Amino acid sequence: MKSPSPFDLFSESVTRGLARFSSRRSVLGAVGATAVAQSVPALPVARAAEKPLTEFELKSQTKDPTRCDYWRHCAIDGVICGCCGGGIHSCPPGSQPSPVSWIGTCRNPDDGKSYVIAYRDCCGRTTCSAPDECECNTADRALPIYRPQNSNDIIWCFGTASQRYHCSTAALIGSAD
């Protein structure tokens, strides 16, 4: 069986997220209006290959996921959950993962391949007070809020019980090559 494409994985993630938090028809109506009014923008995964490396990509490492230069953190903005009692794709006790996220396309320096990363926020607890070096704000191909799927300035706590931001994770959701 053919494995699902990154687009399928992302779509599934977003759809599941929407299904979980959108209890009111108005939300779905507005989302529908967005989809109709705007042509769905091309995901960045298609243009990840064959580009010169960014400064982040040249310096990134694969050993310590609690550092800002960890390869998956190419477009993260926030406190790394791994510094706060969570992990690279798990939330610290007392907080909840957001069902939706922004995404980045990051290059793993070990195999030279690019992967789709979902930066899911952990929510519902006051912000984690980790050391300064756990607060990251990388911006490789991060876009403004009017392109929300690639915007890392947004508090991505839609659909959780409380939209209070706690920390950010970087889950691997598929290949971008």
Q: Report the nearest approach of another protein to the CB of residue 61 (Å).
A: 18
Task: Tell me: does residue 69 bind another protein (CB under 8 A).
Answer: no
Q: Report the nearest approach of another protein to the CB of residue 79 (Å).
A: 13
> Is 77 labeled as ligand-binding?
yes
Identify the residue whose tokens are 């009014």.
37
Shorter beta-carbon distance to another protein: residue 5 or 137: 137
Q: Which string of b and e fits 52-71 if b means at least 16 CB within 10 Å?
A: eeeebbeebeeeebbbeebb
Task: Select from 176, 171, 1 the least CA-distant residue to 86.
Answer: 171
- 102 belongs to the catalytic site: yes
The catalytically annotated residue of 102, 110, 111, 132 is 102
Task: Tell me: does residue 55 bind another protein (CB under 8 A).
Answer: yes
> Is 69 labeled as ligand-binding?
no
Contacts to another protein from residues 115-134, by CB under 8 A: 124-126, 132-133
Nearest-angstrom CA–CA distance, 89 and 95:
13
Neighbour-count burial of 51, counting CB atoms closer than 10 A to its CB (0-12 exposed, 13-18 middle, 19+ buried): exposed
Nearest-angstrom CA–CA distance, 158 and 82:
21
Q: Give the active site residues.
A: 102, 121
Q: Which residues are annotated as a binding site for substrate?
A: 77, 152-154
Point out which residues bind another protein (CB under 8 A). 27, 30-31, 33-34, 37-39, 41-42, 44, 51-55, 77, 100, 124-126, 132-133, 137, 139-148, 151, 153-155, 157-158, 161-165
